[in-house]
Amino acid sequence: MENQNILIMCRKCGRKSPVSQMRYDSNGKDLICINCLGQRKIESPSIGKSVKKEGGETMKYFCPNCKYRFSRKKEVGFPGVCPFCGKSGVDKDSATSADSLLKESDKFKDI
């Protein structure tokens, strides 16, 4: 395809890369190269956890297109597009952990 030969400047490092090597940053707006995306993932080990942090609660999100899970501070709001694949359809992550299911089932063991 001709479109994959188009070069786009990475918003993080400033280098030009083919469009096929670009992904949306966590803000859902800026395109960054996959090298910078890989560095960002290593630097943020708290992705996927919904805990109270300084500055507010985080919300967990899930992209059904690429199966990417990520989180954002609640006050930032709903992202609209996936920061990894750039497609719309991102939903709030409603995955329930095994621990929470076990705790919930303890309520019903005496019934």
Dump pLDDT digits (tens) for 25-72.
878 888 888 888 777 544 444 444 444 445 578 888 888 888 888 888
Number of Cα atoms under 13 Å in the Cβ half of residue 50? 12
87-96 pLDDT, tens digit each? 888 888 876 6
Q: pTM for this structure?
A: 0.40
Both 63 and 81 in one domain: the answer is yes
**pLDDT recorded at residue 96:** 65
Instruction: Supply φ then ψ for residue 93, to 5 degrees.
Output: -80, 115
Both 33 and 68 in one domain: the answer is no
**pLDDT recorded at residue 28:** 80
Both 37 and 61 in one domain: the answer is no
Domain that holds residue 51: 46-95
Number of domains the chain is built from: 2
**Measured between alpha carbons, how far is 62 from 89 in angstroms, rounded to an integer?**
9
**pLDDT grade for 97, boundaries at 50, 70 and 90:** low
